């Protein structure tokens, strides 16, 4: 479902102002949004030896229906009834279950959360004219950071392991206020919904 998000938050978070919502409320916003959007991301996976892999991902949402794509995965979910289907492009395996919906609908609900806090309100071009909310979630194995738009769209994310393991950062590069109705069926998983221009590294300044 790339930048150093934690560094961005620290540099841009507003000091002294009371947060507009609690961490639990912002997390819920990402999981219950009814906004319509197509969001395209560029992500970087950094391994402990310094090797990096950069790749795209995308999320589509309409009402309570959601779709996620990566180069290896396609997922559709009904966020209202908690059902989802995951198509693994590497194995052609279909997997169905509520855990698929929990991973796809907003901030991943499958991992443990030991603490969650709002770390600030930050400007973001895809949150304007409002502000995005910066979050930090500490789990048993990872520290996750996010920025979230006022209508619940994830704008940046970071996953840092507490032990050895790869680090993931991602940032939105394009956001559109449309999503086709035919993107959310299980049958639609046979084809990618991501235009070729969003499967390539964005140009500087994009």
pLDDT value for 205:
67
What the block records as the tokens of 75 is 């997922």
pLDDT value for 186:
97
pLDDT value for 30:
97
User: Quick check: 160 pLDDT over 90?
Assistant: yes
- pLDDT tens, position by position, 37-52: 999 999 999 999 999 9
What the block records as the tokens of 15 is 């000091």
User: Quick check: 5 pLDDT over 50?
Assistant: no
Q: What is the mean pLDDT of residues 118-126?
A: 96
Q: Which residues pair with 179 in a beta bridge?
A: none
How many other C-beta atoms are found inside a 10 Å radius of the C-beta of residue 178?
Answer: 9
Question: Which of residues 6 and 130 earns the better pLDDT score?
Answer: 130
Residue identified by tokens 């180069």 is 71
Residue 29 to residues 85, 98, 140, 154, 178: CA-CA distances in angstroms? Answer: 22, 19, 23, 10, 19
How many other C-beta atoms are found inside a 10 Å radius of the C-beta of residue 117?
Answer: 13
pLDDT value for 20:
61
Q: What is the mean pLDDT of residues 2-25?
A: 48
Q: What is the mean pLDDT of residues 49-76?
A: 97
pTM (two decimals):
0.87
């Amino acid at each position: 479902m790339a930048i150093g998000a934690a560094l961005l938050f620290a540099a841009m978070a507003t000091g002294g102002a009371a947060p507009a919502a609690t961490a639990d409320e912002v997390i819920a916003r990402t999981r219950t949004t009814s906004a319509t959007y197509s969001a395209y991301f560029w992500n970087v996976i950094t391994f402990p030896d310094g090797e990096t892999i950069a790749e795209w991902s995308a999320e589509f949402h309409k009402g309570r229906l959601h779709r996620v794509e990566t180069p290896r995965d396609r997922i559709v979910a009904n966020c209202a009834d908690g059902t989802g289907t995951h198509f693994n492009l590497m194995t052609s395996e279909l997997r169905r279950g509520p855990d698929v919906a929990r991973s796809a609908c907003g901030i991943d609900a499958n991992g443990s959360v030991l603490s969650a806090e709002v770390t600030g309100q930050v400007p973001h071009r895809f949150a304007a004219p409002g502000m995005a909310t910066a979050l930090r979630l500490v789990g048993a194995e990872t520290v996750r950071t996010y920025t979230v738009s006022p209508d619940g769209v994830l704008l940046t994310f970071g996953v840092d392991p507490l032990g050895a393991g790869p680090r993931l950062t991602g940032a939105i590069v394009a956001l559109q206020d449309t999503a086709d109705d035919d993107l959310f069926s299980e049958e639609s998983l046979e084809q990618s919904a991501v235009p070729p221009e969003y499967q390539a590294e964005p140009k500087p300044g994009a």
